[in-house]
Structure 1
Amino acid sequence: MNERLLSPEDLIRITSARRYSKQRRWFKQQFGIDVVCNGRGEVIMLWSAFDALVLREWNLTRTSAPEPKDVELFYD
């Protein structure tokens, strides 16, 4: 399995559901999205996509660096 994808165990741990339909429903309720599924109905999601969803839910951005400020230089 691809390490960038959430594993079946990851999905169970995140959603607390074993059934694919319940996992899809959980994503719809939590994040308001319809997830991508394979032919068997298994949720297919990258860790980076899940991270982005969580950050969006918490109103954070991927890079929380402060905005650059204008700097005035003074020469003696």
Structure 2
Amino acid sequence: MSERLMSHDDLARVTGKKRYSKQAAWFKEQFGINVVRCGDGSPVMTWATFEALQAKKAGLSSAPLKEERPALRPATLRAVK
């Protein structure tokens, strides 16, 4: 997998959209994610991330089904004297 960023032309070819807002909406519709965007509104996506999203959508992800996580405990506040 390539770690390089997808270019504007890459994003337009993959999504079929030229406008940044439409490209971001396409990623939300297809993968259920809000893509990171630059200050000009353009989506930021690496090829590796895109390929991983496609694999997950196709059911090919090798990620564990359930990750064991430690139990969370509430923080206690100490009184200030």
| TM class, shorter-length | 0.7 to 0.9
Report the Cα distance in structure 1 between the residues aligned to 2:26 and 2:61, rounded to whole angstroms. Answer: 23
Report the Cα distance in structure 1 between the residues aligned to 2:9 and 2:37, rounded to whole angstroms. Answer: 16
Could you state the TM-score of these two structures normalised by the residue count of structure 2? 0.71
User: After the TM superposition, which parts of structure 1 deviate over 3 Å for at least 4 consecutive aligned residues?
Assistant: none
Unaligned runs of 5+ in 2: 63-81
Q: Summarize the alignment of residues 1-76 of structure 1 with structure 2, pairs less than 5 Å apart.
A: 4-61=4-61
Structure ranking higher in strand proportion? 2
Please, what is the CA RMSD of the aligned residues?
Answer: 1.6
How big is the shift at 1:6?
Answer: 0.4
How many residues are matched? 61
How big is the shift at 1:26?
Answer: 0.2
Could you state the TM-score of these two structures normalised by the residue count of structure 1? 0.75
How big is the shift at 1:61?
Answer: 2.4
Larger relative contact order (Cα-Cα within 8 Å, sequence gap ≥ 6): 2
Letter in 2 for 1:55: A
Letter in 1 for 2:8: P
Report the Cα distance in structure 2 between the residues aligned to 1:46 and 1:22, rounded to whole angstroms. Answer: 18
